[in-house]
Amino acid sequence: MSRSRRDPGTLPALAPNGLRIVALGGLGEIGRNMTVFEHAGKLLIVDCGVLFPEEHQPGIDVILPDFTSIRDRLDDVVAVVLTHGHEDHIGGVPYLLRERRDIPVIGSKLTLAFIEAKLKEHKITPVTEQVAEGDELRLGPFDLEFLAVNHSIPDALAVAIRTAAGLVLHTGDFKMDQFPLDQRITDLRGFARLGEEGVDLFLTDSTNADVPGFTTSEGELTPAIDTVFRTAPKRVIVSSFASHVHRIQQVLDAAHEHGRKVAFVGRSMVRNMGIARDLGYLRVPKGLVVDMKVLEKLPADQVCLICTGSQGEPMAALSRMANRDHVIRISEGDTVLLASSLIPGNENAIYRIINEFTKIGANVVHKGNAKVHVSGHASAGELVYCYNLVKPRNVMPVHGEWRHLRANADLAIRTGVHPNGVVIAEDGSVVDLVDGRVSITGKVPAGNVYVDGSTVGGATEASLKDRRTLAEEGVITVVAIVDATTGQLVEAPDFLARGFVHEAESFDAAVPLIERELARAAADGVKDAAQLEQLIAKAVSNWANRSHRRTPMIIPVVIDA
């Protein structure tokens, strides 16, 4: 089994008959999925998603893949193929198309509808081509075949990529629900057919690789959701991903059955469900969905709200309701249904919301206390089934944290894939398929690119560290008037503190330390204000650390007397 450990540097030339695979996101993390395939001088991109920030990344909206390694080769990109319409697979497309607007975008009907609506907000009109399962498409040196896969959103596709270097099968996100709500099952016959042809590299969804058995069918949630609607004494507020059409359908069916009217809350929820309804993916009984103004006049036991914010996102509707910062106020007796998974990294935010609603007196129903969510990803039993069907020569687990990738790799080996043919890569790893063998040949930049408001890439790890310092340690501004001739303080410095807990006279002990540093600077002939500011900052930082066990941000200001 090979693992990525090479440092960035000059990449070796790709063999003329080789295929190069570089994941710019999605490896070692849940989100930001983007894989670049290179062959015969052309590039094919599969997915371009975003990663949502965690608590240690304050002020960040979303995180993008790093386009640095392909930025000077955008003219070589033949297309972006989108496997399905989730944000972690399509959310980065607007930012990629800003750099070259005419890159063709390939996807299924619903996927393209979602991305076109998103691009409209960015004032980008894309070049698109709609495909469906069974379609074949030639893009430069890449021959593509699309296969149906079952996931937590309709119209998901796997893609087979044929080149002179071999056949690659990329599952995208998938599971093997045998009783899907839309009757669209994963095309295992197609997987087996490709296996007979000979799959040289199998890129497989790893999210549930460490979960034994098979993922529960979506249909098995219906009784639990029905129970919520049957027993809730007042309003029902449901939170789900804005793209989870299957789950929303179950909620609509339950609301209709129990005489509740429904309103969608949150811009992305309203937009996506409108698209899904118009395209026929969401069946909405006449008169079921109404305007909020109509809903407000109904008795509480006839009301259902469906909103965004299932992952505790600070600006989403559910978080704002929990903070009492939304026009919709949760009250005692209401039922809040979290019909979604708990993405790693979001635990604290979600539990905070649960606690806030519980404190108000609402009944919170979630995956931990009721069967109201199933995963959209294949568990270990399904992955083993696929390995035995496809019989791939080489395997590269994708879409998952390190524990998921390793578990998936172990499954592949147990089914007979040679350990040397299993590659555990990380973001930026350069994987070459040459003469039927895979190897890691280098690494390209693949760090986080932060979107902060309207700024892309402006926020850095250093600036995020400053934000965390401000949030956790506070800030001290030191204003010192210094005699340019003697290098001494003209008067005691002023200390302005924010977020730094201290006594009124605390800073008195820091003044001698500043005076000592200034005296040393004067003896050494240092008079530059910027250098003096650095010395003052160092003195105050050392004092704060010793006296208060804190490391606040120090902002020194030296005024020449």
Answer whether residue 464 is part of any domain: no
**Torsion-angle region of 47 (φ positive above 0: left; ψ -120 to 50: alpha; else: beta):** left
The CATH number of whichever domain residue 259 belongs to comes to: 3.40.50.10710
Within this chain, do residues 359 and 379 fall inside the same structural domain, yes or no? no
Reference 312, options 273, 270, 274, 341; nearest CA is 341
Within this chain, do residues 280 and 316 fall inside the same structural domain, yes or no? yes
- Domain hosting 416: range is 2-214+375-456
Within this chain, do residues 260 and 330 fall inside the same structural domain, yes or no? yes
Within this chain, do residues 105 and 224 fall inside the same structural domain, yes or no? no
Return the structure tokens found at 222.
Answer: 């219906």
Return the structure tokens found at 215.
Answer: 């993922």
Answer whether residue 262 is part of any domain: yes
Within this chain, do residues 340 and 396 fall inside the same structural domain, yes or no? no
Beta strand 142-148 with 455-456 is unpaired
Within this chain, do residues 39 and 119 fall inside the same structural domain, yes or no? yes
Return the structure tokens found at 474.
Answer: 């506070």
Write the DSSP assignment of 405-457 as a string of letters: HHHHHHHHHHTT--GGGBEE--TTEEEEEETTEEEEEEE-----EEEETTEES
Answer whether residue 370 is part of any domain: no
Residue type, 56: H
Q: Quick one: how many helices (H) and strands (E) in the chain?
A: 16, 27
Answer whether residue 324 is part of any domain: yes
Reference 263, options 328, 312, 333; nearest CA is 328
Supply the angle between the helices 267-278 and 245-257 in degrees, to the nearest 10: 80
Sheet of strand 136-139: strand arrangement: 136-139, 142-148, 157-163, 166-170, 201-205, 395-398
Answer whether residue 328 is part of any domain: yes
Within this chain, do residues 74 and 131 fall inside the same structural domain, yes or no? yes
Tokens 């994987």 belong to which residue? 431
Count other Cβ atoms within 10 Å, centred on residue 523.
9
User: Cα–Cα distances in Å, from 290 out to 50, 235, 260, 285, 294?
Assistant: 32, 15, 10, 11, 6
Within this chain, do residues 26 and 98 fall inside the same structural domain, yes or no? yes
Answer whether residue 462 is part of any domain: no
What are the residues whose beta carbons fall under 8 Å from the beta carbon of 32, sequence distance 6 or more? 24, 25, 26, 49, 50, 51, 63, 64, 65, 88, 92, 427
Within this chain, do residues 183 and 236 fall inside the same structural domain, yes or no? no
Return the structure tokens found at 557.
Answer: 């200001």
- Provide the pLDDT for residue 445: 93
Reference 243, options 282, 208, 217, 215; nearest CA is 282
Reported pTM: 0.83
Sheet of strand 494-498: strand arrangement: 494-498, 475-482, 553-560
- Provide the pLDDT for residue 333: 93
- Provide the pLDDT for residue 8: 47
Domain count, the chain: 3
Residues 9 and 69 sit within 8 Å (Cβ to Cβ): no
Of 342, 365, 388, which one is at a domain's C-terminal end? Answer: 365
Within this chain, do residues 78 and 160 fall inside the same structural domain, yes or no? yes
Of 307, 342, 365, which one is at a domain's C-terminal end? Answer: 365
Of 315, 333, 365, which one is at a domain's C-terminal end? Answer: 365
Within this chain, do residues 382 and 274 fall inside the same structural domain, yes or no? no
The CATH number of whichever domain residue 506 belongs to comes to: 3.10.20.580
The CATH number of whichever domain residue 169 belongs to comes to: 3.60.15.10
Answer whether residue 523 is part of any domain: yes
Within this chain, do residues 484 and 379 fall inside the same structural domain, yes or no? no
Residues 145 and 162 sit within 8 Å (Cβ to Cβ): yes
Answer whether residue 417 is part of any domain: yes
For each successive 10 residues of the chain (561 residues), what is the average pLDDT?
A: 58 93 95 96 97 69 90 97 96 95 98 95 95 98 98 96 98 95 94 98 97 92 91 93 89 96 91 94 94 90 88 71 84 89 69 88 86 89 97 97 97 97 96 96 91 70 70 84 84 85 77 88 84 89 84 87 68
